[in-house]
Structure 1
Amino acid sequence: MTETARPVQPRSTPSKAPDMPGGSLSGGDKSPAVRMYEMLYSSMVSQLLIVAADLGLADQVSLGPRSVADLAAATDTHPGALYRAMRALASVGVFTEVEPRVFGATALSETLRSDIDGSMRDLARYVGLPARQQAFAGVGHSVRTGTPAFDHVHGMSWWEYFAAHPELGTLFNRAMGTMSRRINSEVLASYDFADVDHLVDVGGGQGHLVALLTQRYRNLSAVVFDLPRVVPEAQEVVSRAGVSDRVRCEGGDFLESVPAGGDLYIISWTLHDWNDEDATQILRNVAQVLPRNGVLLVIDEVPPTDDSPHFGKFEDIVMLTLLNGHIRTEDELTPLFHDAGLRIREIRDTPSPTSVIIAELA
């Protein structure tokens, strides 16, 4: 499998408005002091979104506007308190107050419905996990020491915690599946897989990306490679997609080795979870089995080096707080690939914060 070689191209970051909270919560131009005041309180938007996801409020209004009294009865909540929460969320476009104390759906609330493809409800509930939120309350520890606040708060690593709480691990995998489905369309639009015969998704999680690719490309076979405990979930996703005859779900540890035989390898939203040493080892393991004309695609956020807004700069704080990973710039990625025996051919930015890094053997 080959794709026409391209020289490494300079990246361009389109001008855009900030994609993280921090703008005005009350509308209009504000003084720096007022903007700072609102930024300090912007976390309340996230907290209320978590509550809305837990209560299933988006499902409740999906068929038409509902009164607060009806919503409170359906969700076993306090009518007055629920109104105050709904009013606040409506002020930032999550719901709409169509008449006094009656709320309807918006494009934003629709993303939290549980019955739609690509629902972000599980992601919101994952963000709201108490163990995760407790770690972020200790982010100052990470800034002071450079070590994960999660370990400091809970006395164990992020991965150890999920191994000890499998029900939370399942929620985490569903949330990451949501993100996978959200970025899949960007990947499909950014790279042509028509000439790929056999694909290996390293750290492929529940297999959503492979399921979509093998549905789109009927001659493609694939392996979803992840920890043994994730394999049953991937097999279920692959089976529902109707591609079990062309997809194998295999368990293992990508820090030790990855399956051979692919002409294209994918590492999607995984490399940033690991420190430089481990990330290089993952890349090196791929390089050891990558054929001379093979391609590695790394799907990840690659923020610009200037102070322009990019979601990856905040995702990097998640890595700092929970793990030992790092959202890396192009300059930070290049030596990792080099040390693994790989060369970055091109980085393709997408309309989302995610980029597609195309690499080959050096």
Structure 2
Amino acid sequence: MMKSETAHIRPLADLATPMAIRVAATLRLADHVARGAHTVDELAVLVDADRDALAVTMGQLVTAGVLTRDAQDRYHLTPLGDQLRDEHPERMRATLDIEGAIGRAELSLAALLQTVRTGKTAYSHHYGQSMWDDLVDSPALAGSFDAFMSFKTTTNAPALASSPLWSRLNHVIDIGGGDGTLALALLAEHPVLRVTVLEQPGPAATASAAVASRGLADRADVLVGSFFDPLPAGADGYILNDVLHNWNAEATTAILRRCADAAGATGSVFVIESGSGLDAPNSGLDLRMLAWFGGRERTPGDVARLAVRAGLALRTVHHAPPLHIVELTRPDDAGR
């Protein structure tokens, strides 16, 4: 009988490689190597780093397969390391940048024990205030966060906009619609649809400029506002794209209630959560939402249960692979 092989848990708990990669992303090492800087001495000057500390870190990056080192101690990117270039299509460098909003938030997972013990966010424990307050206080972090959300929405927008469900609507309001990326995709795909973006001042200004630059002011408008305040009434649909997972059950119910009040008896609320599967949420993202915001990833069933508290009921789930769109309406309209 062959002895059974059991994977060792230590590699799963290793922090050396993830942190070395994040430091490389923050220092933009891949971009410098791609432009011709191949030695530790050259790179230390370019990134303003201690030469010996950088050499040790790059040694770990070689071990991890991010870099190779030749006989002349010159470093080169592997296909894995190439993903850390700033212009790589997947844009991972900015996501991993420790000095950016998402990379900074990732480091707060070091305080996950406090979240598990108390239920409070690791982010607040680690940094002394909530992530939302950090974004308000730091324009640089806010810009980084907005860029991340814009890229994420750009990736998902074609699948969402191509859903036939929007063709039966006349006017939709994208609540927390960021820089207008999804709104512009909807306008392009559905020529008679009118779209309103409601956002905080910074992203709203970007969305307004995008609408104007495309000559779509006759079919789109942008409002500054919060989804915790009363929303404009009378639209056919209210979109919550990548919004609810940032909030706990109480806040999520409050947001849904604002949408229900605005939608009235005939409108629909459309919930899109890109990290949630039909049967179970993405566990890694679920943990991050808990640690960063006190939020959760939710399946359509989870959303439906919270919707009841807000006076809404599940009408149907529209598929927009790899995403799904949960449609909620007033209970009397749920079967229409």
TM beyond 0.5: yes
Letter of the 1:290 partner, please give it: A
User: CA deviation digits over 1:75-119, x for unaligned, max 9?
Assistant: 455473464254245x2xxx564966442463x656544346663
Query: Contact (CA 8 Å) 1:120, 1:178: kept in 2 or not?
Result: no
* Contact 1:208–1:238 under 8 Å retained in 2: no
TM-score (norm 1): 0.74
Superposition pairs of residues 176-215 of structure 1, within 5 angstroms: 176-215=149-188
Question: How far apart are 1:38 and its partner, in Å?
Answer: 0.8
AA of the residue aligned to 1:67: H
Aligned-residue identity in percent: 26
1:242–1:74 distance in 2 versus 1, CA, 3 Å = farther
Q: CA deviation at 1:249?
A: 1.7
User: Retained in 2: the 8 A contact 1:47–1:128?
Assistant: no
- In the TM superposition, residue 246 of structure 1 has moved relative to its aligned partner by 3.0
Contact 1:58–1:105 (Cα < 8 Å) also in 2 = no
Q: Report the counterpart of residue 25 of structure 2 in structure 1.
A: 53
- Of 273, 287, 292 in structure 2, the residue corresponding to residue 322 of structure 1 is 292
Partner of 1:119: 91
TM-score by length of 2: 0.79
* C-alpha deviation, 1:123, in angstroms: 2.3
Relative to structure 1, the CA distance from residue 66 to residue 138 in structure 2 (aligned partners, 3 Å threshold; closer, same or farther) is same
Distance 2:295 2:161 in 1: 26
Which of 278, 282, 303 lines up with 1:333 in the alignment?
Answer: 303
Residue 163 of structure 1 corresponds to 136
Superposed CA deviations along residues 23-59 of structure 1, whole A, max 9, x for unmatched, are xxxxxxx94352x111011x44442342233233444
Q: Which residue among 172, 183, 186 is the counterpart of 2:145?
A: 172
Measured in 2, the distance between the counterparts of 1:61 and 1:261 equals 55
Match of 2:38 among 44, 67, 70: 67
- CA change 1:104–1:133 in 2 (3 A) is closer
**Greater fraction helix:** 2
* Bigger shift: residues 119-128 or 268-277: 119-128
Seen in structure 2, the aligned counterparts of structure 1 residues 217 and 151 have a Cα distance that, compared at 3 Å, is same
Give the alignment partner of residue 247 of structure 2, picking from 262, 274, 296. 274
Give per-residue Cα distances to partners, 1:175-205, cap 9 Å, x unaligned.
Answer: 2222222222332355553343322111112
**Runs of 4 or more off by more than 6 Å in structure 1?**
none
Shift in alpha-carbon separation, 1:109–1:259, aligned structure 2, 3 A? farther
Could you say which residue in structure 1 is the equivalent of 2:325?
Answer: 356
Report the counterpart of residue 259 of structure 1 in structure 2: 232
Q: In the TM superposition, what is the alpha-carbon distance from 1:135 to its structure 2 partner?
A: 2.8
1:135 aligns with 2:121: no
Mapped partners of 2:153, 2:93: distance in 1: 14
SS of 2:326 mapped into structure 1: strand
The code of the aligned residue for 2:6 comes to P
Structure 1's unaligned 5+ residue stretches are 1-29
Residue 167 of structure 2: SS of its match in structure 1? coil
Shift in Å at residue 279 of structure 1? 0.9
1:84 to 40, 43, 59: 59
Q: CA RMSD in A?
A: 3.2
Q: Deviations over 1:290-343 (max 9, x none)?
A: 26553322111334667xxx5x21222222222222212344322211222222
Shift of 1:344: 1.8
Partners of 1:347 and 1:316 in 2: how far apart? 21
Size of the aligned set, in residue pairs, is 318
Cα distance change of structure 1 residues 316 and 105 upon mapping to structure 2, 3 Å threshold: same
SS at match of 2:86: coil
Contact 2:245 2:289 in 1 (8 A): yes
Q: Measure how far apart 1:216 and its partner are.
A: 3.2
Partner SS, residue 138 of structure 1: helix
**1:257 offset after TM fit, Å?**
1.6
2:242 counterpart letter in structure 1: W
Query: What residue identity is the alignment partner of 1:37?
Result: R
8 Å CA contact 2:67, 2:81 repeated in 1: no
Deviation for aligned residue 1:223: 1.2
**Residue number in structure 2 paired with 1:290:** 263
Q: For the structure 1 residues 128 and 246, does the alpha-carbon distance in structure 2 shift closer, same or farther, using more than 3 Å as the test?
A: same
**Letter of the aligned partner of 2:236 in structure 1?**
D
Highest relative contact order (Cα 8 Å, sep 6+), 1 or 2? Answer: 1
> CA–CA distance in 2 between the matches of 1:122 and 1:240?
26
**Cα–Cα, structure 1 residues 120 and 161, in superposed 2: closer, same or farther, change >3 Å?**
same
Corresponding residue for 2:334?
A: none
Which amino acid in 2 is paired with 1:121?
R
Q: Larger radius of gyration, structure 1 or 2?
A: 2
Whether 2:101 is the aligned partner of 1:103: answer: no
2-side partners of 1:278 and 1:221: how far apart? 28
Between stretches 112-121 and 326-335, larger displacement belongs to 112-121
